[in-house]
Structures are given as structure tokens and as C-alpha cells.
């Protein structure tokens, strides 16, 4: 059978979306401009190409839809019946048939209009034929719009179906609603089926996987089934019936012995007898759930009789199916609330599946072809000697050492236990040095010395550092107490006037130190006045005179010099020359008369009067490497010319090799006509 992956089916677009997709693709794949003055053959080929590409695109899209949806005759009967239950296979086939018919119609339309375009006698006639062809194709697609919408709904629902492998080892769970089927699946698999205290919580098939003896098993949880005629069952119940009818699996029929599901044991037994024909040729087990609420020994006689009848029917099913081992257990008990017997039920079901699969293969026709390939060698005794088991002494010693190592590991205290004993996480800090391999265990916690330029830290330490530190502390105490021997010796050799001056200096020094300490301690909180507004720091002659006077110097000459400099900086006024008649004449007027009010000459005189701070660029400076002025000017021009292109490309320098995206995709992809720039 063909294995179908429903999740791989692509999205089915609606009719309008498909038209937009195909026409846009045709516009990209074909030329967009043809001129009126072109040859007739060129015009015909242009529009024939348009029609042909459009028809092929429509056919490819529709063929993809038809090909990806599964054919009900080619897939497993389980999936075929399941799709019929969910979607009605008549509607499903009709929708696919309409899509296939539309594909054939579009192919015929494209062929007919290509034949007509071969005889187009003008640009206008060819264009009209092309428009008619594309219009008819779009009309066909619009006609199958409902079918495409139906197929898209089917695709979405099929993608949500569970991935069930019909050929895999399977455990199928069935029974009345709310008897504990989903709870059992959640216990033995990694599935997360919704469990609620009301009926029909599970509305579709759910699949989980479990491992037993290194083999993978799939467990299928089916919706609940009610005891009523086949015609009255709804889609939810028919999903369970389909799985029971077509999947080769071990069936677990769940029986709620407590009656808390809302159905009595008699009703559940009636359901068992009504669907027992679906259990033929399959391993069947009856699972009595919720024994924590109602133990088996506390059942009434009538209920026990019904359970025994079901057990007998299960044994009869085994004998019909070919399993001659009547002693196999078919009645199991468990409780999903207390986990009592849950794993026993799973293990028994898995073993029954393996046994059943082996029996089927042994009864198949191919068994004779395979048996001759196997040979089981059975050793025969050569004599009557007793040959006991011999184990070498070395192996026994190694085994004894391994046992001792395991005992030591068991006795060894774990880091987690030590952490709990010493305050827990955040308090206990594991030592990373305790596993160091050293000559003495006492060295493990020693501080590792640092090495600087090939020398150990101990090489830079003075062995008498402690005694020297004590001496420094004693001297510091004597200085703080004011009892310093050197100062007393100096004071003894001084005159009384010198001693007074020295005391004054020391007193002033202590005051300055104290003042500096106070300023330093309050530096962060003390406001700072800018020098612009600080009158004490203004650069005035009065401030300079006070400072010089404080130093014992005469400030008069310095102040006079500063004032003379300030006067000279202001600029001197033009001196007035005296004429012969005694009247004053300005020198500027004389210049104007001499030069005749010539503006160029006046501008030249102004330029000459300005001072130049540096030589012009054209002049050759020794050391630049230029022969003369002309060579330097030429080099400067060439340098500016070479930089112009680099600046135009926004390069950082000569080594900038960054290649920017000169053709952004949103501006250059696709084709557009005149004026169609709205997509930007």
C-alpha cells in the first residue's frame, strides 16, 4: 500500500488567488513589450508565447493539486474508510474530478487559441485573441472555486490527523465513553490526551508511543462507542469502528466495574457482544478499570456472570483466530488513579502482539522457504566425563576488585549530601582543590604563588619585613605623639629667634595640612564657582600687586609695564600731518589724492598690509621631495583628481573594498509597466 503523508500536501489557493498567481507568473516569465511596427511573425510569436505559458502554468498548478491528494483506491483501507467517514468519498472524488476537468478544458483552450493566433493578421487581432484566451481560462478557474475551497478545508483537516502506521505493532483501546481510556494512554506513553469527567472528551483518534523490550509500540486511543445500531452511530463513533475493522492490533476492551462512567456493566457487556465480530483474528483482552472504587470480589453475582461471559467470548475469539493457547490471560484488572496494574496491562498486551505476529508468520506460505535457511546446532556429548565450569583466577580477582570499588562508591559521600549537611545551596562552597594529586594532603589548600618575570612572589619579599614594619609603627607613634628625636636635636642648636620662627613655620604647616584635609573631605559637596564669576581669581593689576606685595616685592614697575602693553595692543591712531597753511591733513586723504581713488590699488594696499602666518601651498618647502613649484602644483592637482571618484563612492580610503548592494531587490525584481510604482 502507498504510504501517504497528509501533512506534505501544499495549500490549495482559492479561485481568485490562483488567477492572480498564474497571471503574475506569466508576466514574469514572458516578454512584456511588443511594438506596432514589428513583423507579423514576431507579433504572433509574442502572443502565442503568452497563451502557451499561461495554459502550462494553470495545468501544472491543477496537476499538483490532483497528484498530492491521495487516491482512495491506492492507500490503506483504514485511511480510505476513515476519509470516507470524515468527508464522504463521493464529494471528495467529485471535487478532484472537477479540478481534473478544468485542467483538460484549459489545455484545450490554450491549444485552440494558439492555432488561431498563427493566422493573426495584425497586432490588434492578436491582442484580442490573447485576451479572450486568458479570459476563458480565468472563467474556468472561477467555476471550480467551490471545489478548491472544499479541498482546502479537507487538506487542513487531513493535516491534523494523527500519523498512524498500519503495519506497526499497535495496541488499540476501545470501550464506552469515560471508562479511563485516555488516562491509560497518558500513563504508558508520552501523549497528552485531554481527560475530563464527562463523556466524549476524546472526539478523534490519538496516538502515543511506548517502548517494551527495545521495541516501539504505538497506542491508539479511540473515541467512546455507544451500544446502538450501526446506522445511528455518528462520525466520532465511526472513527473507532474503522480503526477496529482495519488495523492489525491487540485490542483492549475497557470495562468500568464501578459504574462511575454513567453506564452499567450490563450495558458495557451488551456493547462488547455487539462489536465482537470486529475482534476476530486479533489478540483481545478485557481490562477492568477503576478497581480502587469497586474491587472485583465485591461485584454482584449478576455482574460477575456478565464478566465471565465476556471472558469466555474472548477465549472463543482466540481459538477462532488460530491461537491454541487457551491459558493466556484475557481478563486484567487495574486502576489508572493509583497506577495499580497499569504496567502489567501494557506488558501483557505487548507480549500478546509479538506472539500473535509470530504465529501469523509461522502459518504463512513463505515459512517453508525460510526454514531451510536456519540451522540450530545442538552439541552432543563425546564421553561421560564431567566438565565443570572453569573461571581463571585473574578474572575472579578482577571481579573481586570491581565489587570492592562498587562498595566504595556506595559508601562514598556525594557532593549533594555534603552540601545538605553544611547549610545547603548558597552557603556550602565545594572545594575544587581536594582532588589534587600532591605529595602531602596538607598542601592542597595552599595559595598558589604568582610568577612575575620568572621570579616567585617570595623572591621580592624581605625576610625581616615584620621587624621593619614594627619599627615603622613605633616611629609613626612617636611622630604622632610629638616626641621626635631629630627635631629636638635641631631645636637644641638654634637661637631663640630661630626657634620661634621654626615653631611658627611648623604651626603654619600644620594649619595648611589641616585646611587641605578639610577641603579634600568636602570637595564633593562644596560648590564650585566658575573662574568667570570668581572675583578672587580675576586677573587684575590689583590682584597682581597684592600677590607681589605679599612676596615682599615692589609691584609698581610691573603694573606700569602691564598698562603700557595694553595701550599698545589697542592699535595706534593715524597721525595727522600738518600742511603748509597750518591746517591738519589726514594721511589717508593724501593717499586717496595720490592714487586717484583707485579701488584696485586700495585693495592691493590692504592685502599687503595683512600679515601672512604661513607660506602658500605652491611654494616648495625643503624636505617635501618636489623639484620646483610647477611639480608641486601638478602633484596636488593629480591627488585631488584621484580622490574625487573615491569620495563619490563614499569610500573611507584606498583600502576600502566594501561592495554595497547596488541593485536592491525591491527596486529591480520583476517587471513593471509605465507608471506602476505603487509597490515601492
pLDDT of res. 609: 47
Residue 249's contacts (CB-CB under 8 Å, 6 or more residues apart) are: 170, 171, 172, 220, 282, 353
**Contacts of 562 by beta carbon, 8 Å cutoff, 6+ apart:** 541, 544
Low-confidence ranges of the chain (pLDDT < 50): 1-2, 320-322, 324-327, 575-597, 601, 606-607, 609-612, 680
- Distance CA(114)–CA(108), nearest Å, equals 10
DSSP state of 2: B
- Backbone φ and ψ for 635, nearest 5 degrees, come out as -65, -40
Instruction: Spell out the CATH class of 163-365.
Output: alpha beta
What angle do helix axes 89-117 and 40-68 make, rounded to 10 degrees? Answer: 170
Cell matching residue 570: 589697542
Quick check: helix, strand or coil at residue 3? Answer: coil
User: Mind giving me the DSSP string for 105-152?
Assistant: HHHHHHHHHHHHHTT--SHHHHHHHHHHHHHHHHHHHHHTHHHHHHHH
d(CA 172, CA 218): 9
The C-alpha atoms of residue 215 and residue 212 are separated, in whole angstroms, by 5
Matching fold, domains 6-157 and 163-365: no
In degrees, rounded to 5, the angle at the alpha carbon of residue 293 between the alpha carbons of residues 291 and 298 is: 70
The residues spanned by each domain of the chain are 6-157, 163-365
Contacts of 322 (CB under 8 A, 6+ apart): 281, 359, 363
* CATH 1.20.120.1190 describes domain 6-157: yes
- How far is 31 from 186, CA to CA, in rounded Å? 61
Q: Could you give the CA distance from residue 18 to residue 452 in angstroms, rounded to a whole number?
A: 77
Confidence at residue 676, expressed as pLDDT on a 0 to 100 scale: 59
Query: In Å, how far are 23, 104, 108, 112, 127 from 137, measured between CA atoms?
Result: 11, 11, 10, 12, 16
| Structure confidence at residue 490 (pLDDT) | 54
pLDDT on residue 434: 85
Label residue 399 left, alpha or beta by phi (over 0 means left) and psi (-120 to 50 means alpha): alpha
For 66, the enclosing helix (H) or strand (E) is: helix 40-68
For 508-520, write each residue's pLDDT tens digit. Answer: 899 999 888 888 8
C-alpha 332/C-alpha 286 separation (Å) is 6
Please state, as a whole number, how many other Cβ atoms lie within 10 Å of the Cβ of residue 220: 22
Q: What is the pLDDT of residue 147?
A: 95
User: Could you read off the pLDDT of 145-197 as tens digits, one per residue?
Assistant: 999 999 999 999 999 888 888 889 999 999 999 899 999 999 999 888 888 88
* pTM given for the model: 0.53
Residue-level pLDDT at 69: 93
Which pLDDT score, from 0 to 100, does residue 678 have? 59
Q: What are phi and psi of 333, to 5 degrees?
A: -125, 150
Take residue 276 and report the three cell numbers written for it: 465482537
Of 213, 240, 277, residue with least CA distance to 81: 240
**Looking at residue 67, what is its pLDDT?**
92
The three cell numbers of residue 166 are 498500519
What pLDDT is stored for residue 672 in this prediction?
62
Would you give the distance in Å from CA 54 to the centre of its chain?
A: 40
Task: Determine the Cα–Cα distance for residues 34 and 49; give it in Å rounded to an integer.
Answer: 12
Amino acid at each position: 500500500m502507498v504510504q501517504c503523508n497528509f501533512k506534505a500536501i501544499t495549500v490549495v489557493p482559492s479561485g481568485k488567488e490562483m488567477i492572480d498567481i498564474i497571471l503574475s507568473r506569466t508576466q514574469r516569465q514572458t516578454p512584456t513589450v511588443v511594438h506596432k511596427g514589428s513583423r507579423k511573425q514576431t507579433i504572433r510569436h509574442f502572443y502565442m508565447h503568452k497563451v502557451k505559458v499561461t495554459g502550462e502554468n494553470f495545468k501544472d498548478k491543477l496537476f499538483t493539486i490532483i497528484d498530492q491528494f491521495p487516491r482512495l483506491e491506492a492507500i490503506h483501507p483504514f485511511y480510505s474508510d476513515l476519509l470516507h467517514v470524515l468527508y464522504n468519498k463521493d464529494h471528495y472524488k467529485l471535487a478532484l474530478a472537477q479540478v481534473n476537468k478544468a485542467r483538460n478544458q484549459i489545455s484545450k483552450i490554450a491549444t485552440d487559441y494558439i492555432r488561431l493566433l498563427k493566422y493573426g493578421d495584425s497586432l490588434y487581432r492578436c491582442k484580442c485573441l490573447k485576451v479572450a484566451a486568458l479570459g476563458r481560462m480565468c472563467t474556468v478557474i472561477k467555476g471550480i472555486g467551490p471545489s478548491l475551497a472544499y479541498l482546502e478545508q479537507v487538506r487542513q483537516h487531513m493535516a491534523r490527523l494523527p500519523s498512524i502506521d498500519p503495519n506497526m505493532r499497535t495496541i488499540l483501546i476501545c470501550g464506552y465513553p469515560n471508562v479511563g481510556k485516555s488516562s491509560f494512554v497518558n500513563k504508558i506513553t508520552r501523549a497528552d490526551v485531554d481527560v475530563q469527567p464527562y463523556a466524549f472528551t476524546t472526539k478523534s483518534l490519538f496516538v502515543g508511543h511506548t517502548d517494551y523490550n527495545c521495541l516501539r509500540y504505538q497506542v491508539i486511543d479511540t473515541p467512546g462507542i455507544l451500544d446502538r445500531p450501526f446506522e445511528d452511530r455518528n462520525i466520532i463513533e465511526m472513527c473507532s469502528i474503522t480503526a477496529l475493522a482495519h488495523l492489525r492490533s491487540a485490542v483492549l476492551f475497557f470495562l468500568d466495574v464501578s459504574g462511575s462512567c454513567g453506564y452499567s456493566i450490563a450495558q458495557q457487556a451488551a456493547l462488547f457482544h455487539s462489536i465482537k465480530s470486529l475482534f476476530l483474528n486479533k489478540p483481545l483482552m478485557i481490562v477492568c478499570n477503576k478497581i480502587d472504587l469497586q474491587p472485583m470480589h465485591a461485584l454482584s453475582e449478576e455482574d460477575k456472570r456478565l464478566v465471565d461471559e465476556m471472558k469466555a467470548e474472548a477465549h472463543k475469539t482466540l481459538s477462532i483466530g488460530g491461537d491454541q493457547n487457551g491459558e493466556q490471560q484475557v481478563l486484567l484488572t487495574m486502576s489508572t488513579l493509583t497506577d495499580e496494574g497499569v504496567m502489567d496491562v501494557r506488558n501483557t498486551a505487548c507480549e500478546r502482539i509479538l506472539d500473535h505476529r509470530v504465529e501469523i508468520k509461522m502459518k504463512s506460505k513463505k515459512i517453508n522457504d525460510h526454514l531451510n535457511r536456519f540451522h540450530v546446532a545442538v552439541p552432543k556429548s563425546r564421553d561421560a566425563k564431567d566438565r565443570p565450569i572453569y573461571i581463571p583466577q585473574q578474572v575472579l580477582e578482577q571481579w573481586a576488585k570491581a565489587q570492592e570499588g562498587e562498595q566504595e562508591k556506595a559508601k562514598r559521600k556525594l557532593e549533594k549530601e555534603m552540601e545538605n549537611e553544611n547549610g545547603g545551596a548558597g552557603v556550602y562552597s565545594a572545594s575544587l582543590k581536594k582532588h589534587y594529586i600532591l605529595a602531602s594532603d596538607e598542601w592542597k589548600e595552599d595559595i598558589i604563588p604568582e610568577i612575575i618575570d620568572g621570579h616567585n612572589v617570595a623572591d621580592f619579599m624581605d625576610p625581616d619585613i615584620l621587624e621593619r614594619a614594627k619599627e615603622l609603627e613605633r616611629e609613626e607613634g612617636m611622630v604622632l605623639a610629638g616626641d621626635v628625636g631629630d627635631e629636638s636635636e635641631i631645636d637644641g642648636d638654634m637661637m631663640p629667634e630661630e626657634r620661634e620662627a621654626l615653631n611658627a613655620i611648623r604651626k603654619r604647616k600644620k594649619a595648611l595640612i589641616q585646611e587641605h584635609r578639610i577641603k579634600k573631605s568636602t570637595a564633593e559637596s562644596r560648590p564650585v564657582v566658575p573662574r568667570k564669576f570668581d572675583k578672587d581669581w580675576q586677573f587684575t593689576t590689583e590682584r597682581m600687586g597684592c600677590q607681589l606685595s605679599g612676596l615682599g616685592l615692589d609691584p609698581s614697575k610691573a603694573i606700569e609695564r602691564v598698562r603700557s602693553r595694553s595701550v599698545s595692543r589697542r592699535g595706534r591712531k593715524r597721525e595727522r600731518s600738518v600742511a603748509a597753511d597750518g591746517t591738519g591733513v589726514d594721511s589717508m586723504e593724501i593717499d586717496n589724492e595720490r592714487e586717484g581713488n583707485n579701488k584696485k590699488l586700495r585693495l592691493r594696499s590692504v592685502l599687503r598690509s595683512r600679515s601672512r602666518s604661513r607660506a602658500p601651498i605652491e611654494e616648495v618647502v625643503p624636505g617635501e621631495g618636489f623639484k620646483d613649484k610647477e611639480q608641486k602644483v601638478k602633484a596636488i592637482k593629480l591627488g585631488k583628481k584621484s580622490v574625487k571618484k573615491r569620495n563619490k563612492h563614499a569610500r573611507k580610503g584606498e583600502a576600502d573594498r566594501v561592495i554595497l548592494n547596488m541593485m536592491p531587490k525591491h527596486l529591480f525584481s520583476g517587471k513593471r509597466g509605465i507608471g506602476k510604482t505603487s509597490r515601492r
